[in-house]
Structure 1
Amino acid sequence: MTMPELAVWRVEALRITVFGVEPLAAAGQNWWRTVTGQEPETAINRPQSGEYSEIGPFLGGQLELKVAFNRADWILSYPLIGLPGAPEPSGTLVSTLREFAFSVSKWTAEKPVAASRVALGSVGYVQVENIKAGNEIVGLYIPYMDLTKVSDLTDLLIQLNTPYESKLLGSARINNVTKWAVLGRQVFAIGPTGMPQIKNDIAVRSEFDLSTATDGASVDLSSFGALSSEMIDAVEGVLSAGLKL
Structure 2
Amino acid sequence: MPEANIADRFDLTNWKTESLRMTAFLSPGSPIPQQNWWEEICGSPPEVRSSQPRTGVQQDEGLFGDGNTQGRLILAVQPSRIDWLLTVEVVPTSFELPSVGSFSESANSFAQLMNRWLDVSPNLQRIAFGANLLLPFEDVEQAYQSLPAYFPLNKLDLKNAQDFNYRINRPRNVDYDISDLKINRLSTWSVMTFTAFQFTNVGSYTYSSAPLNVAIRLELDINTSIDFSGELSKDELPKMFAQLVEYAKEIALKGDIL
For residue 129 of structure 1, what is the aligned residue in structure 2? 138
**1:92 shift after superposition:** 2.9
Tell me the TM-score normalized by structure 1.
0.86
Pair 1:136–1:221, CA change in 2 (3 A): farther
The question of whether the paired residues in 2 share the 8 Å contact of 1:50 and 1:69 is answered with yes
Counterpart residue identity of residue 92, structure 1 = S
Q: What is aligned with 2:41?
A: 35
Residues of 2 paired with 1:144 and 1:103: CA distance? 35
The answer as to 2:221 corresponding to 1:209 is yes
Establish whether residue 19 from structure 1 lines up as the match of residue 25 from structure 2: yes
1:102-181 equivalences in 2 (<5 Å): 102-111=112-121, 113-148=122-157, 150-168=158-176, 169-170=178-179, 172-181=181-190
Q: Report how far residue 72 of structure 1 moved.
A: 0.5
**1:144/1:85 CA distance change after superposition, 3 Å:** closer
Give 1:158's aligned amino acid.
Y
Task: Determine if contact 2:52/2:58 at 8 Å carries over to the other structure.
Answer: yes
Within 2, Cα distance between the matches of 1:18 and 1:214?
A: 12
Larger radius of gyration: 2
Aligned residues of 2:136 and 2:215 also touching (Cα < 8 A): yes
- In the TM superposition, what whole-angstrom CA distance separates every residue of 1:188-243 from its partner, at most 9, and x where no partner exists? 579xxxx9853322210011101111111321244222111111211222222222
Determine if contact 1:173/1:212 at 8 Å carries over to the other structure: yes
The question of 1:69 aligning with 2:82 is answered: no
SS where residue 199 of structure 1 aligns?
Answer: coil
Letter matched to residue 211 of structure 2:
K
Equivalents in 1 of 2:22, 2:223: separation in Å?
A: 10
Q: 5+ unaligned residues in a row in structure 1: which ranges?
A: none
Does the C-alpha gap of structure 1 residues 87 and 144 become closer, same or farther in structure 2, counting only changes over 3 Å? closer
CA shift digits 1:165-193 (9 cap, x unpaired): 22334552100101111022113579xxx
- Structure-1 separation of matches of 2:131 and 2:156: 24
Tell me how large the CA RMSD over aligned residues is.
Answer: 2.8
Amino acid at match of 1:14: L
**How far did 1:29 drift?**
1.4
Shift in Å at residue 18 of structure 1? 0.4
Q: Which letter does structure 1 place at the counterpart of 2:16?
A: R
Normalised to the residue count of structure 2, the TM-score between the two structures is 0.82
